Amino acid sequence: MAEKGGTDRELTNEQAIANAYGVMRSEINQLYSKITELEMEVSEHSLVINAIQPLDPSRKCYRMIGGVLVERTIKEVLPAVQRNMEGLKEVISQLNEALEKKKQKLLEFETKYKIRIKKGDNESQDEGARKEGSAQGVLVGPASTEKE
């Protein structure tokens, strides 16, 4: 067994090394999970955009904003949904960069402490943690014949 009286920077205890390694793997799994969640939201935004783009811009539609259904027109909603989708893509890009940095640090840690994995790699395993209530929906109403 290794001695306990090491410095803060250098891990000397096998258990401390294993714990630090587990934390790093957990952070990587969380990043994978968040990226997957955001990619699903981008997919949903894309479906909404494709559904409402060919419709009449003055047509009524309903958008869920903070749990409240708000009546708008397609002309008002479409740009907002497109902006949201672009923002999600930007966040995904930033998360992918952070993921690559974490993976590099993990690789360096494995090399430094000569860590070898005996079992299969479960990096892409989904933790099942999903956040609800953060999605914004759009509902398109029937075409009206009323003139305003």
**Residue 6, pLDDT above cutoff 50:** no
Domains in the chain, start-ordered, CATH in brackets? 14-116 (1.10.287.370)
6-15, 41-50, 91-100, 120-129: least confidently modelled range: 120-129
pLDDT at 58: 97
pLDDT at 53: 96
Confidence of residue 140 (pLDDT cuts 50, 70, 90): low
pLDDT at 4: 45
For residue range 122-134, list pLDDT tens digits in order: 544 443 434 444 4
Amino acid identity of 81? V
Distance of CA 74 to the CA centre of its chain: 27
Q: What percent of the chain has pLDDT over 90?
A: 64
pTM flag (> 0.75): no
For residue range 44-86, list pLDDT tens digits in order: 999 999 999 999 999 999 999 999 999 999 999 999 999 999 9
Confidence of residue 119 (pLDDT cuts 50, 70, 90): confident
Q: Measured between alpha carbons, how far is 68 from 71 in angstroms, rounded to an integer?
A: 10
Containing H/E element for 19? helix 14-52
pLDDT at 128: 41
pLDDT at 80: 96
Q: Tally the residues of the chain.
A: 148
Q: Are 17 and 111 a contacting pair, CB within 8 Å?
A: no
